[in-house]
Structure 1
Amino acid sequence: MATEEKEELQNENVELDEAAAEAAAVENEFDLLQAELSELKDKYARVHADFENIKKRLEREKYTAVEYANEKFAKDMIPVLDSLHGALNSVKADTSCEELLAKLKEGIELTQKQLVTSLEKHGVKMVGHDEPFDPNIHNAIQSVDSDTVESGQIVQTFQTGYKYKERPLREAMVVVAN
């Protein structure tokens, strides 16, 4: 019987060795998975931090863009202001009234032309006086009978309208024919 017990003990030792080896393999795999999990957590933390940094940077850039959105427009208005200063400085005490009025008129016309050009460059356009009546860009303040103009056409403009691209900034105040 001693040999049978020895064989049984050897079989149990082999089984225990196999179980220990299997347990060691499972423990080793568990350690590898723990290391991989730790690495993935670290990667996630870095990606999340990068995302937050990008989000903050984009928010700052958006704020800066909004803050300085009118910079080009302002730069284009400076020459118009210079023209107005030039017109005022050109008036001298020893000029006659006719010369003064002619210089002022010329200066104002040039300044107006410069201002219109600058506004158009930035998408601001005058509502045309010769356009057909459009309630989106015209405000009919009066209607009159007219033999020379078709019904619904603009007869007179009291105040010029303006639009930015296709969006009205200010409606034109007009008189419309019946």
Structure 2
Amino acid sequence: MSEEKKDEQLEQEVIQEETTCCQTEETCFKEESLEDKVARLEEELKQSEEKYLRVHADFENIKKRLEREKYQAIDYASEKFAKDLLTPIDTLEMALASANADLDAAELLSKLKEGIELTIKNFVTTFEKHNISKIDTDGEFDPNVHNAVMQVDSNNHESGQIVSELQKGYMLKDRLLRPSMVSIAN
């Protein structure tokens, strides 16, 4: 609708309101003039536009902040796990440092063994803390979690049973991290 038609329509509405409102000159009071009404509506439109622009800008800022936080969460998702791995590495470094100590061979071997056992214990504790579990290799072969790399003859095992574990497998909650590498009986 063109501006002229809008103005005409507004004028007709104002005239109609004045006519219906005012039966006589005495009871009639002057309604808002057309120019005042247009100015008021323009001001309301301007305020609405400003409000919309502020809300839109806020939305865009929130969207950008959430996107940035998402990428930070992805980048630093393993931070807690990495911090927990610092203890086992410290234990390994202490075991290695003890190799330089002035000890006889038997005592040195004992200290190194103790350091390695402590390191493994620290790794197991860290894994448990982060829901990483070792895959069980007792019993039947399960192709979902085991990787058979060889078949061997065994009198002690039935065909398809796991004879030995060559490399441990691990699960993260219910997701396979690495299958167990096993040998199975013929």
TM-score w.r.t. length of structure 1: 0.77
Instruction: Say if 1:163 and 1:115 are closer, same or farther in 2 by CA, change over 3 A.
Output: same
Q: What are the ranges of 5 or more consecutive residues in structure 1 without an aligned counterpart?
A: 1-17
Q: What are the ranges of 5 or more consecutive residues in structure 2 without an aligned counterpart?
A: 1-14, 20-30
Matched, 1:48 2:38: no
- Greater C-alpha radius of gyration: 1
Give the corresponding residue for 2:183.
175
When the two structures are aligned, how many residues end up with a matched partner? 161
Instruction: Say if 1:161 and 1:19 are closer, same or farther in 2 by CA, change over 3 A.
Output: closer
CA RMSD of superposed structures (Å) = 2.5
Shift of 1:21: 5.3
Instruction: Say if 1:35 and 1:160 are closer, same or farther in 2 by CA, change over 3 A.
Output: same
Whichever residue aligns with residue 55 of structure 2, its letter is: V
Q: Specify which of 75, 79, 91 is matched with residue 67 of structure 1.
A: 75
- Within 1, Cα distance between the matches of 2:42 and 2:139? 75
- Within 2, Cα distance between the matches of 1:91 and 1:159? 27
Give the corresponding residue for 1:106.
114
Shift of 1:93: 4.7
Q: Specify which of 76, 84, 91 is matched with residue 83 of structure 1.
A: 91
Matching of residues 72-151 of structure 1 within 5 Å: 72-130=80-138, 132-151=140-159
Q: Structure 1 or 2: larger helix share?
A: 1
C-alpha offsets along residues 122-161 of structure 1, whole Å, 9 cap, x if unaligned?
2222212225322121111122343422332211111111
Percent of matched pairs sharing the same residue = 53
Give the corresponding residue for 1:153.
161
Matching of residues 26-45 of structure 1 within 5 Å: 28-45=36-53
C-alpha offsets along residues 19-75 of structure 1, whole Å, 9 cap, x if unaligned?
795797565544443333222211111110000110111122112222221211121
- Within 1, Cα distance between the matches of 2:100 and 2:35? 99
Give the corresponding residue for 1:7.
none
- Within 2, Cα distance between the matches of 1:161 and 1:146? 23
Shift of 1:112: 0.9
- Within 2, Cα distance between the matches of 1:108 and 1:88? 10
